[in-house]
Amino acid sequence: MLGEEKIHLDQILPVRSRRGNSKDRFNSALMRTYLLGTTNQNKKDNTHNLHDLFAANHTIQVRHLIPNDIGRIGKNYAADGNGEDEADKIAKKFMEKRHTMFLNELKAHLTKLKKSVKS
């Protein structure tokens, strides 16, 4: 808890029909981030809010390792008529981008640690 505020583990792209299946690949850590409870409650399941929540604030986007095109991703993901196959493709691309961001962040952190040990 941050003060009195609860921290929620949240799906970045809501995977509504798959939440109960913990083995589903879309329940991956790549689809999750931590949010303040009030932020999470305001977001609810509206993926169109992804732009307001992540893309509108570059600092938040960077800290949460969110791809630059999250606004477009959220709108495409939530669009009517996409069907499950299209949503799966969008979610897979999102996870691939986020995976690359995690790897780059980890490499940068390890390089920084390595330099600090040599000093």
Q: Looking at residues 3-18, what average pLDDT do you find?
A: 76
Looking at the 3D structure of the chain, how many domains does it have? 1
Is the residue at 97 inside a domain? Answer: yes
Is the residue at 11 inside a domain? Answer: yes
pLDDT for the residue numbered 105: 95
Under the banding of pLDDT at 50, 70 and 90, the label for residue 1 is very low
d(CA 29, CA 118) in angstroms, rounded, equals 33
The tokens of 65 are what?
Answer: 């390792």
Is the residue at 2 inside a domain? Answer: no
Range of the domain at 60: 7-118
Enumerate the H helices of 18-57 as residue ranges. 37-43, 49-50
pTM recorded for the entire structure: 0.76
Is the residue at 27 inside a domain? Answer: yes
- Cα–Cα nearest to 91, from 111, 72, 106, 77: 77
